[in-house]
Structure 1
Amino acid sequence: MKSAEHPTILATLREMSGTVRILVLGNLISNLAAFLNAFLVLFLTGEGFTAWESGVVLTALMVGRISGSAVGGAAADRVGYRWVIVGSMAGTAALTAALVHVPNVWIGALVAGGAGLTATAYRPAAMAWVVELTPKDRHVMVFSVLRLTFNVGSTVGPMGAALLLTYASYGALFYVDAATSLAFGVVAYVALRSDAEPAPGGGGSGGERAGYGQVLADRRFMLVVLGLFLTAVTYIQSSAALPLFVTGSGHDERVFAMLLSVNGGIVIAFEVLLSKWLQRLPIGVPMTFGMAMLGVGHLIYTGPTPVALLLLATVVWTFGEVIAAPSMMAYPGLVAPAALRARYIAAATIPQQVGYAVGPMIGVAAWHAWGSGVWVLTGVFGLVGAAAVGAGAGLARRRPADEPEPALEPATAAEGGD
Structure 2
Amino acid sequence: MSTPGNAAPPTIIATLRQMNGTVRVLVLGNLISNLAAFLNAFLVLYLTDRGFSAWQAGVVLTALMIGRISGSAVGGAAADRFGYRRVIIGSMAGTAVLTAGLVHIPNMWVGAAVAAGAGMTAQAYRPAAMAWVVELTPKDRHVMVFAVLRLTFNVGATLGPLGAALLLAYASYDALFYVDAATSLAFGIVAYLVLKGDPEPGGGDDAAGGRTGYRQVAADRRFMLVVLGLFLTAVAYIQGSAALPLYVTGNGHGEQVYAILLTVNGAIVIVFEVLLSKWTQRLPIGLPMTIGMAVLGIGHLIYAGPTPVAVLVLATVVWTFGEVIAAPSMMAYPGLIAPPALRARYIAAAAVPQQAGYALGPIIGVAAWQAWGAGVWVLTGACGLAAAACVAAGAGTGRRRPAAEEPALAPAAE
Normalised TM-score (structure 1): 0.95
Contact 2:18 2:411 in 1 (8 A): no
Match of 2:273 in 1: 271
Q: Distance in 1 between matches of 2:230 and 2:206?
A: 24
Q: SS in structure 2 opposite 1:385? A: helix
Query: Is this contact kept in 1: 2:233–2:383, CA < 8 A?
Result: yes
**Separation of aligned partners in 1, 2:249 and 2:115:** 34
Within 5 Å, give how 1:111-190 maps onto structure 2: 111-190=114-193
Structure 1 unaligned spans of 5+: none
2:90 counterpart of 1:87? yes
Match of 2:305 among 296, 303, 306: 303
1:336-388 per-residue CA deviation (whole Å, 9 max, x = no partner) reads 00000000000000000000000000000000000000000000000000100
CA shift digits 1:87-132 (9 cap, x unpaired)? 0000000000000001111111111110000000000000000000
Deviation per CA, 1:188-238: give whole Å up to 9, x if none: 00000154324545153654xx41000000000000000000000000000
Matched residue type, 1:335: I
- Read off the aligned partner of 1:43 and give its amino acid letter: Y
Q: How many residues align structurally?
A: 410
**CA contact under 8 A between 1:133 and 1:415: conserved in structure 2?**
no
CA contact (8 A) 1:203 1:211 kept: no
Q: CA deviation at 1:396?
A: 2.1
Q: Could you say if the C-alpha distance between residues 195 and 8 of structure 1 is closer, same or farther in structure 2, counting changes exceeding 3 Å?
A: closer
Deviations, residues 166-207 of structure 1 (Å, cap 9, x unaligned): 011100000000000000000000000154324545153654
Unaligned runs of 5+ in 2: none
Shift of 1:48: 1.2
Tell me, in whole angstroms, the C-alpha distance in 2 between the residues paired with 1:2 and 1:315.
Answer: 35
Q: Of 212, 215, 223, which residue of structure 1 is paired with 2:214?
A: 212
Which amino acid counterpart does residue 32 of structure 2 have in structure 1? Answer: I
Deviation for aligned residue 1:244: 0.5
Residue 409 (structure 1) aligned with residue 411 (structure 2): no
1:192 is matched with which residue? 195
Report if aligned partners of 2:296, 2:384 keep a CA contact under 8 Å in 1: yes
Deviations 1:234-285 (A, max 9, x none): 0000000000111111111111100110000000000000000100000100
Please point out which of 20, 23, 26 is paired with 1:23: 26
| CA distance in 1 between partners of 2:259 and 2:82 (Å) | 45
The structure with the greater share of residues assigned to helix is: 1
| Residue type of the alignment partner of 1:78 | R
Local SS of the residue matching 2:65: helix
User: Partners of 2:186 and 2:238 in 1: how far apart?
Assistant: 31
Asked if the contact 1:73–1:346 (Cα under 8 Å) also holds between the matched residues in 2, the reply is: yes
Report Cα offsets for 1:9-56 as digits up to 9, x if no partner: 000000001000000000000000000001111111111111111111
3-state SS of paired residue (1:114): helix
Which residue of 39, 53, 61 maps to 1:36? 39
CA distance in 1, matches of 2:170, 2:37: 18
Work out whether residues 18 and 412 of structure 2, in 8 Å CA contact, stay in contact via their aligned partners in 1. no
Which residue type is aligned with residue 410 of structure 1?
Answer: P
Q: 1:11 aligns with which of 14, 25, 33?
A: 14
Q: Is the 8 A contact 1:196 1:417 kept in 2?
A: no
Sequence identity (%)? 77
**Equivalent-residue separation in structure 2 for 1:411 and 1:88 (angstroms):** 29
Pairing 1:275-294 to 2, within 5 Å after superposition: 275-294=277-296
Q: Check whether the contact 2:82–2:201 (CA below 8 A) recurs between aligned residues.
A: no
CA contact (8 A) 1:201 1:339 kept: no
**Counterpart-to-counterpart distance in 1, 2:16 and 2:225:** 32
Amino acid at match of 2:236: T
How far apart are 1:2 and its partner, in Å?
A: 6.5
Residues 1:21 and 1:195: Cα distance change in structure 2 (over 3 Å): closer
Q: Which amino acid aligns with 1:282?
A: P
Distance 1:237 1:28, change over 3 A: same
* Structure 2 match to 1:341: 343
Say if 1:34 and 1:157, in contact at 8 Å, map to a contact too.
yes
CA contact 1:196–1:415 (8 Å) conserved in 2: no
- In 2, the alpha carbon distance for the partners of 1:76 and 1:54 equals 32
